Structure 1
Amino acid sequence: MSVVVPRLRVTGHYAGVVSRAAGALLDVGIVLGSFTAGLAGFDLLTRTLIGGALADDRTGPGWTVALAVWAFLYVYLSLAIAGRTPGKGIVGLRVVKADGATLSAGRALLRTLVFPLSGLVAGLGFALALVQREHRALHDLIAGTAVVYDWGGRVAELPGPLSEFLARRAGAEYAARPSSSAD
């Protein structure tokens, strides 16, 4: 029989900067990929049905506005419906109200609208997440939101070795329990 330190649960704890950045990078890839695929599909459809291209030059301001509208809809609708974007869902994150309550559609709209403010002045609004105790960026502070770990029906836990390391470092005393093959 060996002594096993129980795994620390992180569900509901504030998400770290690395997790948030990974979710954001996934979202950027999904937005750009889906916009490009949608545009290519629509272009193929217009060429097939009416014999003409949608547009030969796709670098104009109209396409930039279309991409911005697509990104806005992607983020807002994802947050309003599920409380997370697909990128955040892959990483195991959820956006909640600052008090931990479920995000409302109105608060999701506010968060989405003020998000660009975090990128102003060389991204200092995002840098707040590095120094702020709850890892909340400027758009989170303005909208009254927070990003937390949440894997849905499965509890998010730290890996066993990391839990043991943190327990030793904190000097915490855990009740010993026999190890089982189910762990």
Structure 2
Amino acid sequence: MASGSYALVLTGEVLPAFDAQAVWPRLAQYFRLDAAKLQAQLVARAPLTIKQGDDLGKLQTLAAGIGAIGAEAEICAPDGQADLFVVLGGSARGPMPRVFADDRIERGLWSRQVQVAEVGSNVWQAYAERADSAPPPAAGEQEPARAFDADVDNVRDTLRSYRPTATADSGHSLAATATATTDELGALPLPPGAAIHAGFWRRCAALGIDSVIIGAVVAALQGAFMVGSLGMLTSLRTGEAAIGALLSTFMLLFTLVFVGQWLYFALFESSAMQATPGKRAMGLKVVGETGRRIGFGKATGRYFGKIVSGMIFNIGYLMAGLTARKQALHDLMAGTLVVFRAVEPGSPPPAQRPPMPWYGWIVNLLMFGLPFAIIGVALLLGGASSGLLSELSTH
């Protein structure tokens, strides 16, 4: 929070005895905002600071108007610390004063493992991992979470504004209010969340679909080159010339396949689609750290990073199921994420994780289940055959 400035925080909660369906439309009228804009820019990102200033009386008047409508608001005293974004319900909320987050965590309303990031930072981390986090309470001293008390005027310099002495005004426009709700939230890296990042098996299914497409094209190229090679060999008179021609043909085919695969992934993932056909079929897209479209250079780096992921016994690919934001090694190297298509930069993520399409499970079964089944059957048949041979040899 700016030094010397008070902050008015909209918590996103509705006060007791008020109906939420009526509160938010009335609050939109009070702020002179469209109801949909209020939900998307304020309520969906609450708790967040909606106004800052040195005049406490003006903020109390605004808080009184908000409270009269039935929405919950708090005034936070200056604390000289950087504001925070906080991940709640899989969505980045804020910015909000540090003292507000400290108060919620110390009273047990939020977990100490909640993910936070300072405004202007590009790193998410658990609140408890921060060097300046408040120490946890000693055993047996944990204060139970409690509802706000209207008679409490000051708790950790967080001024409760349920019964302010100021008189509610008739309305207030937030159109010119300088808040960080859009630009700074949109510049923040996407937080962890099951409804944001694609999991290992969905990504495997997408890769399987892409492999079938690429395999079909490669097979067609191989067929064309084979026919061309046979015609060329029949016209050559010496073995050395034939071997040279075959090597040249093989190198040309290898180059075309390698360059083709690179362009397939790099062009599709940097295009307006932001996804290869396989990823698009699975409802996924490739984005940068903040959720924005990546360029051809970053997509190229991601593709060549896959070589490293595969060279270490495919452990780089397996990391997509182990990291917080489901990043494979090549994603970490390129600074990319694989997310669901509904995820947009600076907007609240989907509330629920989309289910895996039925055909995704079939692709995974054919890619992984069928080969293991074939190996298992082969081992069983091999064991049975050796047993039969051993039995016959004894007679």
TM-score (norm 1): 0.65
Matched residue, 2:202: 19
Partner of 1:129: 320
Q: CA deviation at 1:63?
A: 3.0
Q: In 2, Cα distance between the equivalents of 1:113 and 1:87?
A: 19
SS of the equivalent of 1:13 reads coil
Measure the CA separation in 2 of the matches of 1:38 and 1:151.
Answer: 37
Cα drift, residue 36 of structure 1: 1.9
- 1:33 aligned to 2:216? yes
Distance 2:258 2:231 in 1: 25
Partner of residue 297, structure 2: 106
Q: Secondary structure at the match of 2:266?
A: helix
Deviation at 1:60, TM superposition (A): 4.1
Aligned pairs for 1:59-138 (under 5 A) are 60-81=250-271, 82-138=273-329
Give the number of equivalent residue pairs: 144
Higher relative contact order by CA 8 Å / sep ≥ 6: 1 or 2?
A: 1
SS at structure 1 position matched to 2:287? strand
Higher helix share goes to which structure?
1
Flag the structure with larger Rg. 2
- How far residue 43 of structure 1 moved from its aligned partner, in angstroms, is 6.5
Contact 1:84/1:93, CA 8 A, preserved across alignment: yes
Question: Higher strand fraction: Structure 1 or Structure 2?
Answer: 2
Residues 106 and 59 of structure 1: is their aligned pair in 2 closer, same or farther, counting only changes over 3 Å? closer
Contact 2:270/2:295, CA 8 A, preserved across alignment: yes
Shift of 1:158: 3.7
Instruction: Letter of the 2:205 partner, please give it.
Output: A
Contact 1:11/1:148 (8 A) holds in 2? no
- Closer/same/farther in 2, CA of residues 141 and 42 from structure 1, 3 Å limit: same
SS, match of residue 136 in structure 1: coil
Q: CA deviation at 1:66?
A: 2.8
Query: For the structure 1 residues 64 and 42, does the alpha-carbon distance in structure 2 shift closer, same or farther, using more than 3 Å as the test?
Result: closer
Cα distance, 1:139–1:69 mapped onto 2, change above 3 Å: same
Unaligned runs of 5+ in 1: 1-9, 160-183
Q: Secondary structure at the match of 2:339?
A: strand
| CA displacement at 1:99 relative to structure 2 | 1.4
Please report how far the alpha carbon of residue 42 of structure 1 lies from its aligned counterpart in structure 2 after TM superposition. Answer: 6.8
- 2:214 is matched by which residue type in structure 1? V
User: 1:149: Cα distance to partner?
Assistant: 1.1
**Distance change >3 Å, CA 141–CA 90, structure 1 → 2:** same
CA distance, structure 2, for counterparts of residue 71 and residue 111 of structure 1: 12
Counterpart code for 2:294: L
User: Retained in 2: the 8 A contact 1:76–1:112?
Assistant: yes
Q: Deviations over 1:123-152 (max 9, x none)?
A: 111121121011100110010000011169
How far 1:12 moved relative to its partner? 6.6
Query: Which stretch has the larger CA shift, 57-66 or 140-149?
Result: 57-66
Question: Are the counterparts in 2 of residues 117 and 125 from structure 1 also a CA contact under 8 Å?
Answer: yes
Fraction of identical pairs, as percent:
30
Q: CA deviation at 1:17?
A: 0.4
Deviations 1:92-138 (A, max 9, x none): 11000011111122211211222211111111111211210111001
Deviations 1:17-74 (A, max 9, x none): 0000000111111111012224545777x69xxx935987999454333322221121
CA RMSD of aligned residues (A): 3.4
